[in-house]
Amino acid sequence: MFSNWFSGDECGQYRTSPHKQRMDHVGSSLLELRYANDVIRQHLHEWLRFSRHLEERGLPLQATDTDLVRQYLARRTAKTSASRSRVLRASVRIFLDTDERGQFRRRVGSPPVTPAWFAPILTPYLLFVQTHRGLAAKTARKYTQKLSAFAQYLEGAGITELDQITPGHVREFYENAKNKAPRRSYGSTLRVFFRWAAGQGWLSSSLRDAVPRPRQYRYVNLPDVLGQTDVDRVLAAVDRSTPLGRRDYAVLVLAARYGLRPCDIRQLTLDEIDWREARIDLRQVKTGRPLVLPLLPDVAGALSAYLLDGRPVSTNRTIFLRHCAPFEPFAAENNLATIMRDALRRVGLADRPGRRGLYLFRHTLATQLLASGQPLKAIADVLGHASTQTTYGYTRVEVDGLRSVAISAEEVIR
């Protein structure tokens, strides 16, 4: 099927390879996903090379273990660039993961490495929190990453059983993170895990109290915001002459005009846009609460420009798609920060202190609405806050309003 993609001896090796059918199936799958021909060609040549590696050692594909693959990739990537190494690793992974129909799961990022001794413990724990606590899949992945990092630290300290953990191990792990930064985000994860493990009778419940609880104060820092001039500059600097630019502009306009969270923009669907009634009717990813917004003229223009002359052809109902194969929605871990950072870079704000993601627009909109005299309840409704207590935090930057109620020095003296 792909004979003309090879030349010389490789063409004969491809035709006689015991894995030819597998290469044909997954290669056809990449064609259907509209991968570029050059990318498919690179994958085909790497699959042939890897299959020859197996043949020379008399190994069937089913007997391929992790160590063999790791050794093969170490040799193949020893003198290559980082980008080329990623291509080679992706080729081998796709070849091994594909099923009989040539289908494979797209992997985003590197999965956490869980030590062998900890895997039988982690699996039932994740099942427990997902079943009994309704943990979302994205949160479960974060739990896996954090607990695997803790297990790796324990293994490095010679600990391979839960009952060998001491409060000193917990504190040392927690306080000695990379760059000397405390692992504050690990605190709740470890405490919940220790409580569950104690209930299983695998360790002492006292370990839960070994996790430090640093004192944290609400409203210590002011929200990071942009001025309206900078917001206009960021939007105006987007190159809308390209399909990618039209997509990024639509994303930025949604964030600037409505303060939508990245997850809500990422999962916005065609069915949630009511063009006739000029409104957006969505269910928020974070809270699960419905949110109805007016379809503003500039938002409607940005969306229609992208949908009509920019969006890749796809049957998927999600509005925003990747612009390189496979043409599918962004991964759940993608907060669209790259789009915002590129936009800030174009106007010379790439090195600004503070936030550089889409939440910067969200905070900016909240403070603008507050400065215009809008009540907290109205601002909370626009931002999709479940409580006005969350919105209350934005009052810290309303300097003019605070000045109007401030006590003068003369009044204090009296």
Maximum Cα–Cα distance across the chain: 99
* Torsion, CA 319, CA 38, CA 340, CA 275, rounded to 10: -20
Helices (H), 98-211: 119-132, 137-156, 167-175, 187-199
- Domains of the chain, residue spans: 3-97, 119-210, 228-401
**pTM for the whole structure:** 0.75
Q: Which residue has the tokens 């030590």?
A: 115
Give buried/exposed letters for 373-399 (b at 16+ CB in 10 A, else e): eeebeebbbbbbbeeeeebebbbebee
Neighbours of 288 (CB within 10 A): 8
Q: Which residue has the tokens 């004969």?
A: 12
Q: Which two tokens stand for residue 125?
A: 């724990």
Evaluate whether 272 touches 281 at the Cβ level (below 8 Å): yes
Catalogue the long-range contacts made by 236-245 (C-beta closer than 8 Å, 24 or more residues apart).
237/343, 237/346, 237/347, 238/343, 238/346, 240/305, 242/310, 243/306, 243/309, 243/310, 243/311, 243/312, 243/323, 244/310, 244/323
Pick 119-210's CATH classification: 1.10.10, 1.10.287, 1.10.150, 3.80.10. 1.10.150
Per-residue pLDDT, 179: 46
For residue 139, the one-letter residue type is T
Evaluate whether 229 touches 216 at the Cβ level (below 8 Å): no
CATH code linked to domain 228-401: 1.10.443.10
Per-residue pLDDT, 183: 61
Give buried/exposed letters for 224-247 (b at 16+ CB in 10 A, else e): bbbeeebbebbbebbebeeeeebb
Q: In what order do the strands lie in the sheet with 279-283?
A: 273-274, 279-283, 290-294
Per-residue pLDDT, 46: 92
Neighbours of 303 (CB within 10 A): 24
Per-residue pLDDT, 217: 66
Per-residue pLDDT, 311: 95
- Binned average pLDDT, 10 residues per bin, the chain of 414 residues: 88 89 90 88 92 85 74 87 88 85 68 84 90 78 88 90 88 68 72 90 80 70 82 95 96 95 94 95 86 94 96 93 89 89 93 86 88 83 80 65 64 65
Per-residue pLDDT, 180: 47
